[in-house]
Amino acid sequence: MLKKKQFIVILTILISGQINFSQTGTIKGYVYDSIERGPFVGANLSLEKLDKQSSVDFDGNFVIDSIPIGTYDLKLSYLGYRDTIIKSVRVYNDSVVTLNITYLPLPCMYRDKNDKTCPICNKSDKVIPIIYGLPSPELVKDAEKGKVWLGGCQISFCMPHWYCKRDKKEF
């Protein structure tokens, strides 16, 4: 049976061994919004393979700590914009990878509200409008009859405006 001192010594060695052999690094950086010409405040960054993420602060900075060594894809996302993937970010042991990202938001794919042609079947006979927000009783009846598609609350400027009943596609 181990005595108390021997147990503490063994436990200390095991814990310090874990700390010495943990191989992690950090990704930090700055995200610049090239449209607004300033920090891209509130954007989210996440590592595709891990459950690690960070948000851009008011100064445009972000930090993701304790990342196991390896190569990762870093996803930049922001509500109302298309996601951007920064490929093959390499994290080394006990190091800091610094990224300065100039973000040019991709254009919205749903900007043309007048185009009522389905991008899949190229027909317009089954295309109906998508209605956002809290529907009235009349809109609920229209949705039940298949005259409109209820889309819930609109949360960004870049939302689909039409729905194809044939292909079940929002665009």
Domain segments of the chain: what residues? 25-103, 108-171
Q: What is the pLDDT of residue 94?
A: 85
**pLDDT tens per residue across span 15-43:** 655 455 568 899 899 998 877 788 888 88
**pLDDT tens per residue across span 32-84:** 887 778 888 888 999 878 888 999 999 999 999 899 988 899 999 887 677 88
Which listed CATH number (1.10.3430.10, 3.40.50.1370, 3.30.420.10, 2.60.40.1120) goes with 25-103?
A: 2.60.40.1120
- In order of 115, 132, 146, the CA distances from 125 in angstroms are 13, 22, 13
- Phi, psi angles (nearest 5°) of residue 114: -90, -20
Q: What is the pLDDT of residue 54?
A: 92
Q: What is the pLDDT of residue 161?
A: 83
**pLDDT tens per residue across span 86-133:** 888 899 888 898 888 888 766 666 667 777 888 888 888 888 888 888
User: What is the C-alpha separation between 151 and 84, in angstroms, rounded?
Assistant: 25
Looking at every residue in the chain, the average pLDDT score rounds to: 81
Does 1 score more than 60 pLDDT?
A: no
Is beta strand 149-150 parallel, antiparallel or unpaired with respect to 127-131?
parallel
Question: 75 pairs with which residues across the strands?
Answer: 46, 85
0.85 exceeded by pTM: no
**CA 47 to chain CA mean position, Å:** 10
Give which of 8, 79, 82 is closest to 42, Cα–Cα: 79
